[in-house]
Amino acid sequence: MRCNNKTRFSRTAALSVAAFVFCFALAGAAPDANGFGDKKACEKGYRALRKGDYQEAEKIFRDLLGKDAKDLEARLGLSYTLLKQRSLQGAYDNAARVIMLDPLSARGHALLGAAILAAGEFRLSVEEFRTALALNENEALAVAGLAMVDFYENRLQAAMPGLRRAANLDPNEPDFVFNLGQAAARSERYKEAADSLETYLKVAPEVKNRDAIREKIRELRKKIAVS
């Protein structure tokens, strides 16, 4: 089943690259204002997302898209919400639809890359992350994505600067802070690891293994004391 999913992602990712080139030639610029709908409702969706209320966030974004299927901000929000819920195909499809309308959407390419990376397709994800950063060098999700590829492939020295930068660009994104803590611990940067995990506990809306993480922090603090 996993192999079938990876094959499907590989095919759809390849198609998205072709679609990007085609749409770029046709568009030449970002879409007009009707691509962005109810800002207040979108902000409400993102607040729900930050609180970890993914079902509410998904409902808000889907309601917005029911009113206007070309609301790009709502579709980006829906893509990110689905990514958080590990609904990878939905996250991918919605990000791809944004890129079809706006091939210059850095966030769209970053979300596409994140969905592909979560499916285990490292090489294809790198292409999307690099495209996102070419469009916006401060797209935190793309910065984090490239760094996580380095982390997964055991290039810790290369991963650390990107993970730090992602956490600085978006300090309220729990995943970025947690990943920095994990990489720092593996790199034997115990203070940075402990501090990052402490921050994670503060910014994460819901942590099921909070006690285990607190124990990990205590272990890291002990290592600092003896090093």
pLDDT at 20 over 70: no
Residue 209 within any structural domain of the chain = yes
Question: Does residue 109 share a domain with residue 7?
Answer: yes
Q: Compute the distance between CA of residue 61 and CA of residue 71 in angstroms, rounded to an integer.
A: 9
Which pLDDT does position 16 carry in this prediction? Answer: 47
The CATH number of whichever domain residue 209 belongs to comes to 1.25.40.10
Q: Kindly calculate the radius of gyration of the chain based on its CA atoms and give it in whole angstroms.
A: 18
Question: Does residue 186 share a domain with residue 86?
Answer: no
Angle between helix 140-152 and 156-169 (nearest 10):
160
150-200 per-position pLDDT tens digit? 999 999 999 999 999 999 999 999 999 999 999 999 999 999 999 999 999
Residue 155 within any structural domain of the chain = no
Domain boundary among 137, 169, 192: 137
Residue 147 within any structural domain of the chain = no
Q: Encoding tokens for residue 205? A: 């809306």
118-157 per-position pLDDT tens digit? 999 999 999 999 999 999 999 999 999 999 999 999 999 9
Question: Does residue 109 share a domain with residue 173?
Answer: no
Which pLDDT does position 8 carry in this prediction? Answer: 52
pLDDT at 34 over 60: no
Domain hosting residue 94, numbered range: 1-137
Q: Encoding tokens for residue 49? A: 């997302």
pLDDT at 19 over 70: no
Residue 125 within any structural domain of the chain = yes
pLDDT at 90 over 50: yes
Pairwise pLDDT comparison (216 vs 29), residue with the higher score: 216
Residue 47 within any structural domain of the chain = yes
Question: Does residue 201 share a domain with residue 97?
Answer: no
Q: Encoding tokens for residue 155? A: 């290039």
Which pLDDT does position 79 carry in this prediction? Answer: 98
Mean pLDDT on 47-69? 95
- Count of the separate structural domains present in the chain: 2
Mean pLDDT on 6-16? 49
Question: Does residue 118 share a domain with residue 169?
Answer: no
Confidence of residue 225 (pLDDT cuts 50, 70, 90): confident
Mean pLDDT on 210-221? 95
Which pLDDT does position 39 carry in this prediction? Answer: 86
Question: Does residue 206 share a domain with residue 111?
Answer: no
Question: Does residue 120 share a domain with residue 60?
Answer: yes
Q: What integer best gives the mean pLDDT of the chain?
A: 87
Residue 143 within any structural domain of the chain = no
Q: How far, in Å, are 131, 134, 215 from residue 137 at the CA level?
A: 10, 6, 36
In one letter, which amino acid is 34? N
Total-model pTM = 0.83
Question: Does residue 4 share a domain with residue 102?
Answer: yes
Question: Does residue 164 share a domain with residue 118?
Answer: no
* Share above pLDDT 90 across residues of the chain, in percent, rounded to a whole number: 79
Question: Does residue 127 share a domain with residue 212?
Answer: no
